[in-house]
Structure formats: C-alpha cells, structure tokens
Amino acid sequence: MNILILSALSIILAFLPPSLAEVNKAYQDERNKILQEEEKLRLGYDVILQGDEEKADQIFLRLKQKELQDGFENVEKNLPGMHYYKAKPLLDESKVYQLIRKMPKGALLNVHPPGAVTSKWILNNILNKDNLRKCTNENGVQLLTFRKKFDGCKSESVQVSKGEAKEDWFNLYTPTPEVTFKSSEAAFNQLCDMFDRIDDALNYLPMLKDHYRQFLEELYADKVLYTEVRVKFSEPYDDTSKKYSLDDVVKEIENVVNDFKKTHPDFIGLKIIFAILRHGKEDEIRKNFDLYKNLRSKFPNTIIGLDFVGWEDKGLALQPFADDFTSATRDGSKLFLHAGETNQLGSTDQNLVDALLLNTTRIGHGYALAKHPYLMRDVKEKDIAVELCPVSNQVNSFVEDLRNHPGAILMSENVPVVLGNDSPGFMDFDGLNPDYYYAIMSLTPYQAGLKTLKRLVENTIKYAQLNSQEKTQAETLLKAKWNEFIKEILKEGE
C-alpha cells in the first residue's frame, strides 16, 4: 500500500508546476546566457588581460562606473551625455579623462593637417606675421596668403593689420553649440571656410615646414607614435620667383619628419594619403589622378594611397570616378575612402557601396554604415577598418548625444574600428583624448574597460600601412608604453 501511495505522490509531483525559486533560476540562467552571448560579439571581447592589467582594469572600471553613476544622479555632471563643447571645461575633473590623457594612442589614421594644429599656434605663428595678406574669393570667403598677388583672390589683397587676426578664425569652439550649429550645414560651412582661408598661407614654404613640425610636436605630446595624413596637394611658393612642384611638397614633409625622428627616436613616422577634393568640375577633378600616379611612382614609400575628401553631402559621389580609382591603384597602391559621413539614407550614404566595390582598405568616418547591415557584414568579413571620428561627427551636428552615435553599433558587432580626430585644431580638441573618452564612456557598455581600449589602440597599428620592420617596431614601442600606462592606473588604486 505504502509503495502505491508513494508512486501516486511521485506522479502528482511530476505534474506540479515548478517552484518560484526554480522559475527564477531558469530565468536568470537564460538571461545571463543572452548577456554573455552579446558580450562575445563586442569589440575587444577576445583581448586577454594579464597580471597587472587585470588589477588596472578593476581600478579603471571603478572610476568609470562611479563617473557614470554620478552622471545618472546629477545631469550637470553627466559628461558622457554632454556635447563635447559643453563638457570641455569640466573634463579636467574627470579621473577617467586624466587617465586617457596618459594612455598611448598608437597611430592616428584619420586627420587633415591644415585643421590639425591648435588655433593658438596658428594665431601666434601665422596670423601675426608682418607679410600676411588677406582677400576674398568668389564666394565671399576671406583667404590668407603670403603672396602679393594671388589668383584665388577676387578682391584686392591687403595686409592683415596688427591685432586684427583672431584665434576664432580657426576655432569652431562655442559654449552654445546648440545655437551656433543648428544643422550639419551650419557646421560644415564654417569648417570648410577655415580650410579655404588657411590653404594658401600653408602653401608658403616656410609655413608649410613650421606647420608640419608643430603638427608632429602636438601628435607626440598626445602619445601618438605614427600617423597617416590626408594631403590635398598644391604647389608651394616662397618670397623668391623660384618655381616649386608637388615633388617639393613631399620632399619638405619627408625632411621635417626625418629631422623630428632624430630628436624623437620613438616616433615611427608619417605617410601620406593623396587627397582629391570632391568639389568642382569632373574634368578638373580627373586631372588629379594623373598627379597622384606621378607622385606615387616617385615616392612609393611615402605616398601610400588615395582618398576623395570634402563635404560629402555637397560634393560629387564616388561612382562617376570608379574607373579612375581603379586605374590609379593598378600599381598596388590602396584606397582610403571617406564614405558615409552623412545622415542621409538612400543617397549620399551609397558612397559606402562604391567604396567597398573599389576595395577600399579603410573607410573614413563610415557614419552611415550601421544603417546598411549587408555592407556592415561585408566590412567585417573583409576586415576593413572604419575610421570613426565620433566627436567630429558631433561638432558637425550629425548627433547631439554621443550615446546615440552609430559607432556604438559597429563596436557591439566587433566591426574593425580605429579612432581618428579629423580636424582637431579647428575643432578645438585635446588631441585624440576626447574621442577615446567618449568611445569608452558613451559608445560602450557599463562593463567595458581596458579590453576595449587596448583593442582600439592596437587596431591603429594593425590597420596602419606599415612594412614588417615598422610594424614590429611599432608593436614593441606600443607594448612598452601600454605597460607604463598600466602602472599609472595602478597608482590611482593606491
């Protein structure tokens, strides 16, 4: 009888619903599994931290999470949710930002030299020169030149009077970006005017050399050990009647870099991406491809490839020049195409399609890539790095809150990403520090720490156009500098 009763009870219990505790455990197990699977997809998941790195990561995460929590509780302290120009005066108070400043940045792979040097240096070293002149072009934009007669002028050129020049001629900073830059058009108009304004002044040979030297000094201070720069070539000039060529531009840049390396032996170098401006008549633009081929044949170790730059929404698309790009790369040189630097969907963003069809090596900005899942998958499979410039995108009014930047989607899918700063001088950036700060604080999850930062930094060397000897040197230097950075973090935990 007892056996029958026990059997009956067993059958009844088997059909009873599970207890609340069992339900909760099953739910939590499934929830944790989902979170773990998501985590495995993210950029940096497979980075292995060892020894002191693990301790440093705990310290870094404690600082990061406290800063995020403080921001949740007090909106006035929520730097990761602020526009950079709003946060800029407050960033010195951020312990995370101060650590980012000490972090080695590897390589800078998306930068335009005319807009890369601080406006203060431009004011003190260019705008205050006695022989600087000004005029206006056909669009009413003020141009600066050291020539007495400049073909770009549509008005008579006159000397810039003492005290007339202002730092804000080359600085977009405003404490009220929501008022100054109500659209990307408003921001780009000012930015493009700055490039036009300084262009011929930087073609003046003494300025070209001084400007590149200062660019390297600022890079080095930002803990960057190598760079690839977009250069829009023009023939230089000086105070004589001597005729210079584009070859002379390359030679002068090479000389500046070689001199810099003599006093900074842990700087790897600089290479040039020939930049063709996407504005103008197609026939005139096509002439640049022949100029590129000529320069590339003479300086194959310095001129590494080709790009199509400028305000993408207002400029010409890649598609009409597909044959030209294909022809230009038959010598083995590569493309580093700006594409998808737009909020548009179904028009300008289609440059991404052409960039991939043209076998671009990297994509400049790629802001619109997250809207194209097929292209995003293709980029990942082909291991094409996207040069993200999140703070530049914010200044150019593509996104107000960087927590909404599409780079967060790319990083969550482990799309190859490197960080650039585009035009850090004109945009009043503190080197690459703002981009790395917002990347780790705004574009990544609460739990993302040194694994993510290490992958971002290592990617800059991985996707740089370095030969085997240069890459070995860069990796060795970066490893040593990263270990020094880890020691700096450990000091925060003492």
pLDDT tens for each residue of 190-221: 999 999 999 999 999 999 999 999 999 999 99
Is residue 155 classed as helix, strand or coil in its secondary structure?
coil
Residue 377's alpha-carbon distances to 36, 366, 412, in angstroms, are 21, 13, 13
Among the residue ranges 14-23, 58-67, 80-89, 192-201, the one predicted with the least confidence is 14-23
Predicted pLDDT at 187:
94
Mean pLDDT along residues 238-262? 96
**Do 345 and 325 form a contact (C-beta atoms < 8 A)?**
no
Alpha-carbon radius of gyration of the chain: 26
Overall average pLDDT of the 350-361 stretch? 98
Q: Residues 255, 236: contact at Cβ < 8 Å? A: no
% of the chain at pLDDT higher than 90: 88
- In the chain, the percentage of residues whose pLDDT exceeds 70 is 95
370-387 average pLDDT score: 98
- Residue 141 tokens read as 């934009």
Q: How many CB atoms lie within 10 A of CB 460?
A: 28
> Which pLDDT does position 10 carry in this prediction?
58
Please list the residues that pair with 230 across neighbouring strands.
273
CA distances (Å), 197 to each of 216, 287, 306, 405, in order? 22, 24, 24, 30
Both tokens of residue 9?
A: 């009870």
Q: So what's the pLDDT on residue 15?
A: 57
Domain spans of the chain?
A: 106-117+202-467
pLDDT at position 1 is 53
Helix, strand, coil share of the chain (percent; to 5): 55, 10, 35
3-state secondary structure of 226: strand
Among 368, 358, 304, CA closest to 334: 304
Angle between helices 52-73 and 433-441 in degrees, nearest 10: 80
H/E element holding 66?
helix 52-73
Q: Over the stretch 413-462, which tens digit does the pLDDT of each residue have? A: 999 999 999 999 999 999 999 999 999 999 999 999 999 999 999 999 99
167: buried, middle or exposed (CB in 10 Å: 19+, 13-18, 0-12)? middle
Nearest to 236 by CA among 272, 276, 200: 200
d(CA 212, CA 116): 10
- Number of neighbouring beta carbons within 10 Å of residue 37: 9
The pLDDT tens digits for 461-471 are 999 999 999 99
Whether residue 106 contacts residue 452, with contact meaning beta carbons closer than 8 Å, is answered with no
pLDDT in the model for residue 369:
98
Q: What is the pLDDT of residue 163?
A: 83
Residue 168 pLDDT: 93
For position 241, what pLDDT does the model report? 83
| CA-based nearest residue to 318, from 334, 335, 303 | 335
Specify the pLDDT at position 16: 56
Average pLDDT over residues 245-274: 98
CA angle, corner 316, sides to 312 and 321, nearest 5?
A: 120
The two structure tokens encoding residue 101: 């400043």
Q: What is the DSSP letter of 18?
A: P
Residue 235 is predicted with a pLDDT of: 96
**Of 454, 399, 390, residue with least CA distance to 422:** 390
339, 146, 108: which is closest to 228 by C-alpha? 108
The number of residues making up the chain comes to: 494
Write the pLDDT tens digit of every residue in 312-352.
Answer: 999 999 999 999 999 999 999 999 999 999 999 999 999 99
A 10 A CB-CB count for 55 gives 14
CB 365, CB 340: distance < 8 Å: yes
Q: What average pLDDT is seen over the chain?
A: 95
CATH architecture of 106-117+202-467: Alpha-Beta Barrel (3.20)
Determine phi and psi for 387, rounding to 5 degrees.
-85, 90
d(CA 492, CA 61): 12
Q: What per-residue confidence (pLDDT) applies to 85?
A: 98
Asked whether the predicted pLDDT for residue 20 surpasses 70, the reply is: no
Strand order in the sheet with 417-419: 106-108, 224-231, 269-277, 303-309, 334-339, 362-365, 385-388, 417-419
What positions carry a catalytic annotation? Answer: 341, 365
Phi and psi (nearest 5°) for 173? -55, 140
d(CA 373, CA 384): 15
pLDDT tops 70 at residue 110: yes
Q: Nearest-CA neighbor of 191 among 180, 175, 202, 201?
A: 180
